[in-house]
Amino acid sequence: MPARKSSRRKYSPKAQSKVKRAMHERKHGQLKSGRSGKKVTSRKQAIAIGLSEARRSGAKVPRKKAA
């Protein structure tokens, strides 16, 4: 049997660390969203913020999915 591919997305180590930091801040209630500055409580939003910061800093991150 051939080995199955993982369906999870793979990010560069730099991107992983950005997401990890965002998740840590969210857990401690310190992660704020961009313009409004509201507290982020959603896990998905925390991941999105981490990936967006990674993209801005030039880390290797897969393109955003088309909505």
Q: What is the pLDDT of residues 19-55, one digit of tens each?
A: 999 999 999 999 999 889 999 999 999 999 999 999 9
Q: Any idea where the domains of the chain sit in the sequence?
A: 13-56
Amino acid 46: pLDDT: 94
Find out whether 14 and 51 touch, Cβ atoms under 8 Å.
no
Find out whether 22 and 46 touch, Cβ atoms under 8 Å.
yes
Q: CA dist 9 to 31, 43, 59, 60, Å?
A: 23, 16, 14, 12
Q: What is the mean pLDDT of residues 4-13?
A: 75
Global pTM value: 0.76
